[in-house]
Amino acid sequence: MLLNQSAFPSQIDSLKQEQNSIANQIDLSSDRYVKKNSPFSQILNHGNTTELNVNKQDFNRTPRKVYQSAFVEALIELTNERDNLSKLAPLFWYDATGTYLWISTRFKCLVECLLTFSETKTIELDELKEICNAFTLLIRSIYFTSLPQTYPYTNEILNLKESLKKICLSSNEEKIKFSLLPQTKKVLIATRWELHYYVPKINFRGLSFES
């Protein structure tokens, strides 16, 4: 059986009286019940476009301060000065043998490892020796020996290998604190940024350094 309003006149009258009683108890003139304009005062639909009329005074904010970083500025200056991006472009464009891709992928991986080590409290000496051995294998590879003088990272690779070798030979502890000189760190960060345009990021364990 369907129920309708006429079936319960007494209950309906009782509900109306209760609603009127509650309404009379509310002082609509009180500040508590003054309706404030929403920051989004109106929403108008025009086809597929929704337009928001915003009360701009409700969104006044203090302008954000721009902080300059001397380190970042030095990185920008370094990358602009050596201009390796433009040097790499023709090398990769005509890389028929895959030499630059092979060398650069592995070098970028080693750079990532060294930067990670420099941010770690301590590292296992054996881990650093692995990286040093990887540099040695990279330099001995047929790809490295066939690099032309125009490849911009040849000296960087050789110098890093020698520096790591000295650290490994002079350390007797199982764990060491590995740190980079500020200029060396800038160079490595710049190198990583330059190479990310040309080679993928691959985990150290996923690469072979022998050719």
Each residue of 36-55: pLDDT tens digit? 443 333 333 444 444 445 45
Each residue of 105-149: pLDDT tens digit? 999 999 999 999 999 999 999 999 999 999 999 999 999 999 988
Q: How far apart are CA 165 and CA 31, in angstroms?
A: 77
| b/e code 161-185 from CB counts within 10 Å (16+ = b) | bebbeeebeeeeeeebebebeeebb
Residue 175 is assigned to a structural domain of this protein? yes
Q: How many domains does the chain have?
A: 1
Tokens of 123: 């590292």
Angle at 31 between CA 28 and CA 33, to 5 degrees: 45
Q: How far apart are CA 140 and CA 209, in angstroms?
A: 9
| Domain ranges, residue 101 | 70-206
Q: Which residues contact 209 (CB under 8 A, 6 or more apart)?
A: 106, 133, 134, 137, 138, 141
Tokens of 54: 């915003």
Residue 96 is assigned to a structural domain of this protein? yes
Q: What is the structure's pLDDT at 203?
A: 94
Each residue of 181-192: pLDDT tens digit? 999 999 999 999
pTM above 0.85?
A: no
Residue 156 is assigned to a structural domain of this protein? yes
Residue 94 is assigned to a structural domain of this protein? yes
Average pLDDT over residues 23-47: 42
Residue 35 is assigned to a structural domain of this protein? no
Helix extents (H) in the chain: 9-25, 70-82, 84-93, 99-118, 125-140, 142-145, 154-170, 182-195
* 71 band by pLDDT with thresholds 50, 70 and 90: confident
Residue 123 is assigned to a structural domain of this protein? yes
